[in-house]
């Protein structure tokens, strides 16, 4: 992953960068800098999502900050909203029972199911609004919520944008 480029240095031969996805990431770390390093290493190593550049969109928010719980809840709520949206979309495409799953047409319908499965199994994707790097999850297990309460100085939220040359050229899934 490269560091943000100097926008003034863009030339005609440099492809334009577009925001492909935005994520709010929960990380356990002693400092904000350590948290950023862990997040960058995660995106460097994950085979599921590739960005040409990752840019933090604000300061890391420690769990000791009064806005932490609100931001965390908003991220979790957005994931729930997205999952429900995809479930509704799948239903609108004709899948309303478990038995309908076996007859899904490969393509749009199966892709929706694939996205839903990633939210449930913990694999990050471009649709992930919130990602819990502590548990490799889109949710917040009770055990982690308790750990945050017990040692809030060790948990951070980082908001970031993932950039790609163009969405058409982005490498989204490597499996």
Rounded Cα gap, residues 163 and 2, in angstroms: 10
**pLDDT average, residue stretch 153-163:** 97
**pLDDT average, residue stretch 117-127:** 93
Calculate what percentage of the chain has a pLDDT beyond 90.
Answer: 69
Higher-confidence position of 155 and 98: 155
Q: Mean pLDDT score of the chain, rounded to an integer?
A: 87
Which helix (H) or strand (E) element contains residue 66? none
Of 90-94, 128-132, 159-163, which range is least confident? 90-94
Rounded Cα gap, residues 64 and 43, in angstroms: 25
> For the segment 10-56, what is each residue's pLDDT rounded down to a tens digit?
434 456 888 999 999 999 999 999 999 999 999 999 988 989 999 99
pLDDT of the residue at 27: 98
**pLDDT average, residue stretch 96-113:** 89
| DSSP conformation letters of 5-36 | P-GGG--TTSPPPEEEEEEEEEEE-SSHHHHH
| DSSP conformation letters of 99-168 | HHHTTPPTTHHHHHHHHHHHHHHT---TT-SEEETTTTBSS--HHHHHHHHH-GGGEEEEEEEEEES-GG
pLDDT of the residue at 93: 85
């Amino acid at each position: 992953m490269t560091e943000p480029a100097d926008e003034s240095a863009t030339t005609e031969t440099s492809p334009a960068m577009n925001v492909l996805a935005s994520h709010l990431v929960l990380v356990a770390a002693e400092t904000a800098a350590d948290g950023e390093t862990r997040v960058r290493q995660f995106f460097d190593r994950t085979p599921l999502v590739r960005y040409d550049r990752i840019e933090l969109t604000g300061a890391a928010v420690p769990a000791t900050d009064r806005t932490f719980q609100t931001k965390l809840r908003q991220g979790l709520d957005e994931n729930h909203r997205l999952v429900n949206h995809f479930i509704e979309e799948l239903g609108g495409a004709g899948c309303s029972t478990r038995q309908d799953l076996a007859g899904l047409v490969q393509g749009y319908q199966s892709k929706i199911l694939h996205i839903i499965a990633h939210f449930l199994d913990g694999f990050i994707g471009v649709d992930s609004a919130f990602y819990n790097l502590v548990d490799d999850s889109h949710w917040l297990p009770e055990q982690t919520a308790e750990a945050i309460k017990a040692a809030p100085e060790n948990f951070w939220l980082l908001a970031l944008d993932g950039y790609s040359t163009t969405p058409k050229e982005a490498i989204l899934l490597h499996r």
